[in-house]
Amino acid sequence: MSQSPKPVVLAAVAHPDDIEFLFSGTLLRLKEAGCKIHMWNLLDGSCGTMTHSREEIIRIRSEEAARSAVLAGATMHPAVFPDLGVFYDRLSLAVVSAVVRSIRPQIILTHSASDYMEDHENVCRLVTSAAFSRAMPNFSSKPECPPYKDPVRIYHAPPHGLRDGLGEMFRPDFLVDVAATMATKNEMLDCHESQNAWLDGSQGMDTPSAEMERLCGAVAAWGDGLRFAEAWRRHSHLGFCAADFDPLIELLPQFIQTPNPNPLLP
């Protein structure tokens, strides 16, 4: 690795439980490799309930996310937007930039740029632009935070269901074997009890862990001899890092596979 010490990793998503559902296995692998890891749900989960008041569910979702972060050995950062209240505008970008600049990550794990819901897409856009502007002294964050010049590589996870809102299939650049992390991944997801109740009541998903394992199994089928895997696409290096800066691959070479050219569709 060209970076010493090991890169700082920021997992930045929309809602509490998105990290656990989509890519906590890769995050745990990076923790095992010696990285400092940060977990940030930008939205407060305030709409994810059929029974609690707004204030109650925000408190509950924050406590659940904190328990998950403890299991991962991660630093957790508080939400800054309400559910369905994240938009790509200058003030939102200034708020997100302040957090990114305070963490100074070299690896960012986030949503797919094309997803099935706009909360995910807007978070992806904001985090990506915050990373792009990380070294721009004339772009002011809110609150003010000094820029940093470290290279950063952004990696995009698939949408839930592996398809975007128009049904297009996610096409990964590489897979990460996460079989050995599944016990902790499940334990982290189980921390989100209120979200599990919301998914059961609103979508009939009574066993989120089983759904998460099904998706990891579907991704694994794109590889060779894998049981559970997570899929990733690299963001362009332009404006972020050198073309050959690929720290996730360098840190986890024994767990990386190139997907089959014609993957099975779930």
Residue range 146-182, pLDDT digits in tens: 999 999 999 999 998 899 999 999 999 999 999 999 9
Overall average pLDDT of the 212-220 stretch? 95
Question: Can you count the helices (H) and strands (E) in the chain?
Answer: 9, 8
Q: What is the mean pLDDT of residues 102-116?
A: 97
Which residue intervals of 53-89 are DSSP H helices? 54-72
* Residue 16 in tokens: 């509490």
Band of pLDDT at residue 223, cut at 50, 70 and 90:
very high
Banded model confidence at residue 3, pLDDT cuts 50, 70, 90 = very low
Please state, in angstroms and rounded to a whole number, the distance separating the CA atoms of residues 186 and 178: 12
pTM assigned to the model: 0.94
| Beta strand 256-257 pairing with 229-234 | unpaired
Q: Give yes or no for residue 60 having a pLDDT over 60.
A: yes
Mean pLDDT, residues 5-29 taken together: 96
Classified by CATH at the fold level, domain 8-257 comes out as Rossmann fold (3.40.50)
Q: How far apart are CA 126 and CA 85, in angstroms?
A: 13
- pLDDT confidence of 209, banded at 50, 70, 90? confident
Q: Return the pLDDT at 59.
A: 95
186-206: average pLDDT: 74
Q: How confident is the model at residue 108 (pLDDT cuts 50, 70, 90)?
A: very high
Q: Round the average pLDDT of the chain to a whole number and report it.
A: 93
Residue 50's pLDDT band (cuts 50, 70, 90): confident
Beta strand 36-41 pairing with 8-13:
parallel
Taken in order 155, 96, 23, 46, the sign of the CA dihedral is negative
